[in-house]
Structure 1
Amino acid sequence: MVEDEAAASDSLVRELLRHGYEPVTVATGAEAMKMCGDVELVLLDLELPDVDGLEVCRRIRSDSQAAIIAFTDRSSELDRVLGLQAGSDDCMGKPYGFRELMARIDAVMRRVRPRPAAPGGEPEVLSHGPLTIDVARREIYVERELIEVTRKEFDLLHYLASHPGAVITRQRLMADLWGNPAAHPLGSRVTRTIDTHVSALRSKLGSSAWIQTVRGVGFRFGREAG
């Protein structure tokens, strides 16, 4: 938990302990970036005394697989969208209710924790020509070369590859990968969030053919890269 206000930090720690969590608190962005590799979830106040909170979010996302819930004192849609674009899995305005926070923690952790494949269920490895998606290890390979991706980029490609041939709408992507679509209205800024992830994936995969745009609707996984 990254929070520089001691009173708010102490109150939240007590509640998290009561619910079975093992919270570790830091007061600065610099401390957060050092410790993020050893935790499952980061609760990140974006208003920090030393480093811009959005930059802290970006650094944690690039270095760690930890889930991130960000908080902003500014309640505008733009500020929440900036938090999502920086790599958070959810972004809440302050003040917030503890029960809502717990519900969002549960929702985020359900999305990011890998689930073992049941017998006859989802395969642990998806292969499409030169593209391999190792679901268990959360790794992507093209021509056996490991491609470095963020967690959201992995989730997006895996989701599309799990529905080959199907057109997946932007609304469905936002609801299933970002959660709580009511909290993230699909305005132009949130649409750009999805487009940014798609663009980054195409660049890293070396071809735009893996993710095809269906204009005005959404995206479709391309089985073969041209």
Structure 2
Amino acid sequence: MQQTPPARVLVVDDDPTVAEVVTGYLDRAGFTVDRAADGPTALERATAARPDLVVLDLMLPGMDGLEVCRRLRADGPVPVIMLTARGDEEDRVLGLEIGADDYVTKPFSPRELVLRVESVLRRARALTTGHPGPAPLLRAAGLTLDPVARRATKDGARLPLTLREFDLLAFLLRHPGEACGREALMREVWGWEFGDLSTVTVHVRRLRSKIEDDPARPRLIQTVWGVGYRFDVPDGEDVMDGEGDDRA
């Protein structure tokens, strides 16, 4: 029986102590780890051997982590976990808004980082692993989600959703009309029992910008004050489950 090779993780941090500690923990967890201390080197390493996930410091010399993330994503989807300073909330939001899948604030527990890496990779494997049978397409308000192909469209046009955005929209479509708390969304979509709830808020805002006709006046993803969010299906319409026979 052929064994699956260990996932390759690229650690990008200009602090040699942080990079060494993170690399050591990931190595002991069974990952193949590569390191880079700046943006250009990280891009070179990623080109030479495409990583399965990148642990990326936001504050890098010369080219910051946001630009590195943009350039990595320009070559194809790759999960990214941002490392940020504790007080830089605006930077964390920016990281999430350009598509980072997660972030960890410094100082952090290396064990927690390893758990986050494993969680993100579990989600990412859904892009390539097989499925035991046809899964229904989710359709509502002009949206179509194919959970097997991980493809989303609106009125036939492809939606450029990140890993977490896709999972969040799929969860909301499977629970139309239900008020979903941010804690529940974090648990069900992210697989976390704890974490910064602003992660959910940012992803909802970003998802609205992609699926709403007017993100400033959303009609699909409604805020339920004091609770969380609710997906409202337009009047006279239901979320339809197709058999997936029209997949491209």
| TM norm structure 1 | 0.75
Pick aligned residue for 1:70 from 82, 101, 106: 82
**Please, which runs of 5 or more residues in structure 2 have no aligned partner?**
1-10, 238-248
Distance 1:192 1:101, change over 3 A: closer
For 1:219, the equivalent position in structure 2 comes to 229
Residues of 2 paired with 1:60 and 1:205: CA distance?
Answer: 30
Pick aligned residue for 2:153 from 135, 141, 150: 141
Most deviating of 197-206 and 130-139:
197-206
Tell whether 2:23 aligns with 1:9.
no
Q: Aligned ranges for residues 134-173 of structure 1 at < 5 Å? A: 134-173=146-185
Residues of 2 paired with 1:139 and 1:49: CA distance?
Answer: 36
Pick aligned residue for 2:30 from 13, 20, 36: 20
**Please, which runs of 5 or more residues in structure 1 have no aligned partner?**
none
Aligned 8 A contact 1:61 1:150 in 2? no
User: What secondary structure does 2:12 align onto?
Assistant: coil
Q: Aligned ranges for residues 1-226 of structure 1 at < 5 Å? A: 1-33=11-43, 35=46, 38-61=50-73, 64-72=76-84, 74-76=85-87, 78=89, 80-114=92-126, 117-118=131-132, 123-128=135-140, 130-178=142-190, 180=192, 182-185=194-197, 192-203=201-212, 208-209=218-219, 211-216=220-225, 217-224=227-234
Percent pairwise identity:
32
Distance 1:169 1:99, change over 3 A: closer
Distance 1:142 1:47, change over 3 A: closer
Distance 1:23 1:204, change over 3 A: farther
Distance 1:3 1:163, change over 3 A: same
1:63 deviates by: 5.2
Aligned 8 A contact 2:143 2:154 in 1? yes
User: What secondary structure does 2:229 align onto?
Assistant: strand
Distance 1:204 1:44, change over 3 A: farther
Aligned 8 A contact 1:62 1:150 in 2? no
Code of the aligned partner of 2:52: E
Code of the aligned partner of 2:181: T
Root mean square deviation of aligned Cα: 3.5
User: What secondary structure does 1:47 align onto?
Assistant: coil
Residues of 1 paired with 2:63 and 2:113: CA distance?
Answer: 24
More helix by share: 1
User: What secondary structure does 2:34 align onto?
Assistant: coil
1:179 deviates by: 5.0
Aligned 8 A contact 2:222 2:230 in 1? yes
Aligned 8 A contact 2:51 2:78 in 1? yes
Code of the aligned partner of 2:112: E
Aligned 8 A contact 1:3 1:26 in 2? yes
1:47 deviates by: 1.8
Distance 1:18 1:171, change over 3 A: closer
1:46-75 C-alpha deviation (Å, 9 max, x unpaired): 121111223333554565432222212x22
Code of the aligned partner of 2:87: S
> Matched residue pairs, number?
219
| TM norm structure 2 | 0.70
